[in-house]
Amino acid sequence: MGMQGDFFQLLKEQGYQFGAPATAGSDLEMPNATTILAFKYRDGVLVAGDRRATAGNMVMYDRTDKVLEIDRHSVMAIAGVPATAYEMVRVLEHSFKYYRRTQLQELSFEGKLRAVSKLLKENVAAALAGTGAVAPIFAGYDFEQESAKIYFYDILGAEFEGVEYAVSGSGSPTIRGILHYLNTWGEQPLSALSEEQSTVQALRLLTSAAEFDSATGGVNREANLYPVIKFITAGGVRTMPDAQLKPLFEAKVVRHV
């Protein structure tokens, strides 16, 4: 990302500070967003997250959106401190727009990856202080490679490609094991699943995570509360509406005894 189109560098020159660790009240429990996942399906990438935010053993909020659209072809799913992650998404969103308007072209997928890693590295002090740890998943469509891709990060900004899938957050150990099993010994690999089949698997995975991790919020049918599920293809980012999740959950996830 050239300096001429670097919005974040422009912000810093104007005195903006990202990722400064809190000095007061650092012993307080920080809210945390919990479980996110992404995997490649037949048409692109599915990205999903539960809705719960916790602070220690307290449920802070059950309607958190952890899968955030940055531009028409990329999303960031957040696990960690929501305030830091939301600020990160806002900076990235404006950075991508600024590059497009100043350079008269879209920022490349590689450039987007560098921007995410750069922000996470700026946030290291806050992450180590325990006041701003974020371990996100970034997914988007790479037009140069003509494929949807998944990348995940640790709290220090190290970048890893999820060739088939990626998970993060407190419920991720449960989900990682199930994803490995499904992808290795399932009737078909994840990448062969249709949109409906992949949606059902995402609902089952997050329901399983909620069963074994108290910080992960499951489906609340009475409150009409379902996970956030988005799809990324060459056509852009699309959100699966709750009206479509509800019948799929009732038919394919709920155990009828």
3-state secondary structure of 157: coil
Rg of the chain, C-alpha, whole Å? 18
Q: What does DSSP say about strands 74-77 and 67-71: parallel, antiparallel, or unpaired?
A: antiparallel
Residue with tokens 């490349």: 108
Taking CA atoms, 250 is separated from 141, 221, 256, in Å, by 31, 9, 9
Q: Report whether 226 contacts 246 (CB < 8 A).
A: yes
Of the chain, the end-to-end C-alpha distance in Å amounts to 56
Tell me which residues are annotated as active site.
34
Burial of 93 (0-12, 13-18, 19+ CB in 10 A): middle
